[in-house]
Structure 1
Amino acid sequence: MDDAARARDAACEALADVEPDQLREALEDRIANAAVTPGVLVLVTARAVDPTVDPDTVVDRAAGVQLIYEGLRLTRSVAHEEPWVTAATQESDIDADMDVLTADVLVARGFALLACTDAAAAAVEVVRAFGRDQTLREREGTDPAAATALDRNLEIDALELAVVAGTTAVGGDPPEELLTYARDLAADYDGEFPPPGRALPETTADRIADISDRAVSATDR
């Protein structure tokens, strides 16, 4: 099983007991069509830092990061579209309510998966930073360029969280250079991550392994 399928399956499994059925189906549809770049990066990072790691011990972290990102991404979309203002029918209004509920459940389930890990504090900070950015975007009436920059912070924060989750899964903390690399990866994408099947550059694992090895060597001196 490849990393994208593994992350997606784990995310769906974390949602398997959600009721009612209509809500669970909405959640699963979101995950089925989601870009799984954050979840994949968790797995790639853990394996690059420790090639002997069992992916089954990391997959819940990958799912947690993926669910938090997807929930916040949906929240961002709803906030920008303001569907209750533009809704033409009662059905459209209900769809908007369902999107908000879906986003809340995605984030909550993601937190539940990361709550007892060393990535928990970083996950909380991602959500706090998202709230600050979106509040600033709305309150200050930022120009289009500034608004875009604030929105793209979510992708940056999601990939930083991914390398934190992956590195701490194998017993370490990510060096600053690795966090910088995660930010650089996010900067390569235009707003949102690519569609399923094109999650990360082929060189990602080698770059992470090199950064990790150099950080360990520096510590051992």
Structure 2
Amino acid sequence: MEEVAAVRRAALAAVDDVEPDRLRARIDARLDEASLAPGVLTLVSAGATRDPPVDLADGVADRAAGVQLIYEGLSLTRQLARDDPWDGGDSEAADLDILIADILVSRGFYLLARTDAADAAVSVVRSFGRDQTVQRTTGDEALDGALETDILELAVVAGVTAAGIRPTAPLREYATGLAADGLPPNADLLAEEVADALRARAGAEQPAGDGTEAAADH
């Protein structure tokens, strides 16, 4: 489970300078309890499609942390929208959580800003905003799971572009299929069959940079 530890370390390092301590402690606690599937899939995707295998010290862990932080920030935003703690709940804690969500997403963007996954990350956030707007208007709860679908697609884009691979349609489709029942367990993503499936769908190595913008733009 080296990948799980690497994602957690990189994510915590990305928010290590957040102040005051109370705010950072709340962020750390959320990351400690989080599913790290988005970050893990990023590392698995990079490792499956690069030869020699990915080195966690060469910046790929930062990509994984970027994907993870974006997910955590958007997931927290979704939770707040769903629960509406300002209506008779703990409004002070909710105000703090809104700030935390903004920090997590912005730090995630920072980590992906100079990568070939940057445009795909923007698409995830845009899709999330549209989905939440439509859900509030129509009450369509099916849109709740779109975030997990989008974030796993972003994870694969961030991973394979680190390996110099342009994300193909089969790769994207495989990633979204992994989120059919929400985020899968970390152990499932680390299974050899997942790496094999990613490798098989990656195709020949080609320069990254084309086609990464549309991840999760549905």
Does the pair score TM above 0.5? yes
Q: Is the counterpart of residue 211 in structure 1 residue 204 in structure 2? A: no
Match of 2:82 among 76, 80, 83: 80
Q: Please give the residue correspondences for 1:1-221 in structure 2 after superposition, counting only pairs within 5 Å.
A: 2-52=2-52, 53-57=54-58, 58-87=60-89, 92-140=90-138, 142=139, 146-147=140-141, 149-187=142-180, 189=181, 191=182, 193-194=183-184, 198=187, 200=189, 202=191, 203-212=193-202, 215-216=203-204
Hey, which bits of structure 1, 4+ residues long, moved more than 4 A?
none
CA distance in 1, matches of 2:151, 2:46: 16
Residues 11 and 63 in structure 1, CA contact (< 8 A), matched pair in contact too: yes
Computing the radius of gyration from Cα coordinates, the structure with the larger value is: 1
Any idea what SS the aligned residue of 1:216 has? Answer: coil
Output the amino acid matched with 1:99: D
Any idea what SS the aligned residue of 2:26 has? Answer: helix
Specify every segment of 5 or more residues in structure 1 that has no aligned partner in the other structure, as ranges: none
CA distance in 2, matches of 1:198, 1:182: 16
RMSD (CA atoms): 1.7
Q: Who is 2:212 aligned against?
A: none
Residues 68 and 106 in structure 1, CA contact (< 8 A), matched pair in contact too: yes
Residues 44 and 189 in structure 2, CA contact (< 8 A), matched pair in contact too: no
Give the TM-score taking structure 1 as reference length. 0.87
% identical equivalent positions: 52
Output the amino acid matched with 2:128: F
Q: CA deviation at 1:209?
A: 1.3
Residues 40 and 199 in structure 1, CA contact (< 8 A), matched pair in contact too: no
Q: Who is 2:213 aligned against?
A: none
CA distance in 1, matches of 2:17, 2:188: 28
Residues 36 and 199 in structure 1, CA contact (< 8 A), matched pair in contact too: no
Q: CA deviation at 1:51?
A: 3.8
Give the TM-score taking structure 2 as reference length. 0.88
Residues 38 and 69 in structure 1, CA contact (< 8 A), matched pair in contact too: yes
CA distance in 1, matches of 2:97, 2:104: 11
